[in-house]
Structure 1
Amino acid sequence: MSKVMSLVLFCLAFQCTAQEKACNTLNALNWLTGNWHSENSKLKFSESWSRISEKTFEGYGQTYSIVKNKVVSAESLRLVEMSGEVFYLAKVASNTLPTAFKLTRCDADSAVFENSRHDFPNKIRYQLNKDKNISVFVSGEDGKGFSIEFIGKNGNAGDE
């Protein structure tokens, strides 16, 4: 029985190490590249990601108000691989400097970025769905947050 338990523990340790290793590079996040959009009766959301180098993705997100007929928020985004880790950098108009979130967990179809010191959000999770669309979950302390269900524009998102 102890041999079986040792084998199980070895497999679990190897699985965790393999998962952590995948999170150390941007290669695990290639599914994020492309153009994504979502809308409801009041707002249109868009986000786009492209790989600009081996260690950098560049992105842009915006929220457009249908009622006001204008862009109400925009952010410049980057995913940067450095020193064996991956960081999500978001630059919004209300902050003079970008806010960094560290990639803490990932697998073949999801990525979690966290920054416990930021006021809101503390966590951003991207999830690639079976239909090749993505869900983005943005959350903070006390369970507050929101999610956006994005679909790919022109059928190319996630396949580039």
Structure 2
Amino acid sequence: MMKVMSLVLLCLAFQSSAKEEVCNSLNSLNWLIGNWYSENSKLTFNESWSRISEKTFEGYGQTYSIVKNKVVSAETLRLVEMSGEVFYLAKVASNALPTAFKLTSCTADSAVFENSRHDFPNKIKYQLNKSKTITAFVSGEGGKGFSIEFIGKNGNASNE
């Protein structure tokens, strides 16, 4: 019985240290790389990510209004690994400087970035779904928020 308990404790310790290592590296977020697309009756959403170095991903997000026939918002994005941590940087036209969100938790198929000092959003979560889609959850205080389910565009975002 003691051997079984020791083995279970050893496995649990390894799992938690592996999770910590995953959260400190961009390597666990490779599933995000690619071109992603979503649409509803009024809007289309595009987001793309590419690895530009071992410690940096660059991204771009755009919302296009079908009704207005124009881009209504755009942002440049960056994931940066530095000093053993990962940060999500978003630059939108309405802000002079990028807003940083720290990677606070992750698994093999999800990543949560948070910045409690930012007005909205405070939290951005990406979830890789079994169907090889990605859901982005954007939330703030008081339950405000939205989600977007992206599919891989041009077949290159499935990472298979």
TM-score norm. by structure 1 comes to 0.94
| Shift in Å, 1:4 | 5.4
Q: What's the CA shift string for 1:7-54, capped at 9, x where partnerless?
A: 544433321111011111110000100000000000000000000111
Query: Match for residue 154 of structure 2?
Result: 154
The one-letter amino acid paired with 1:107 is T
In structure 1, give the amino acid aligned to 2:116: S
Structure 2 gaps of 5+ residues are none
User: Do 1:62 and 1:74's aligned partners in 2 also have CA atoms closer than 8 Å?
Assistant: yes
Match for residue 24 of structure 1? Answer: 24
Aligned to 1:46: 46
Question: Deviation digits for residues 104-126 of structure 1, max 9, x if unmatched?
Answer: 11111111111111111111000
Q: Distance in 1 between matches of 2:129 and 2:121?
A: 22
SS in 1 for 2:117: coil
Distance, in Å, in 2 between the alignment partners of 1:25 and 1:132 is: 22
Q: Which moved more, 1:14-23 or 1:49-58?
A: 14-23
Alpha-carbon distance in structure 2 between the residues aligned to 1:2 and 1:114 = 41
Residue 94 (structure 1) aligns with:
94
**Distance of 1:32 and 1:158 partners within structure 2:** 9
Deviations 1:42-67 (A, max 9, x none): 00000000001111000000000001
Query: Could you tell me which residue of structure 1 aligns to residue 73 of structure 2?
Result: 73
Give the match for residue 144 of structure 1: 144
> Residue 132 of structure 1 aligns to a residue in which SS?
coil
The answer to whether the 8 Å contact 1:30/1:158 transfers is no
SS of 2:159's partner is: coil
Cα distance in 2, alignment partners of residues 48 and 85 from structure 1: 22
CA distance in 2, matches of 1:7, 1:141: 42
Partner Cα distance (1:6, 1:110) in 2: 30
Identity of aligned residues (%): 84
Q: Distance in 1 between matches of 2:121 and 2:38?
A: 20
- List structure 1 runs of 4+ shifted beyond 2 angstroms: 1-14
Shift of the 143–6 alpha-carbon distance from structure 1 to 2, 3 Å rule, reads: farther
Contact 1:137–1:145 under 8 Å retained in 2: yes
Shift of 1:5: 5.2
Question: What corresponds to 1:57 in structure 2?
Answer: 57
Amino acid at match of 1:97: L
- Would the aligned equivalents of 1:34 and 1:156 in 2 still touch at CA under 8 Å? yes
Task: Give unmatched runs, 5+ long, in structure 1.
Answer: none
Q: Following the alignment from structure 1 to structure 2, what is the Cα–Cα distance between the partners of residues 3 and 53? A: 44
Instruction: Give the TM-score normalised by structure 2.
Output: 0.94
For these two proteins, the number of residue pairs brought into alignment is 160
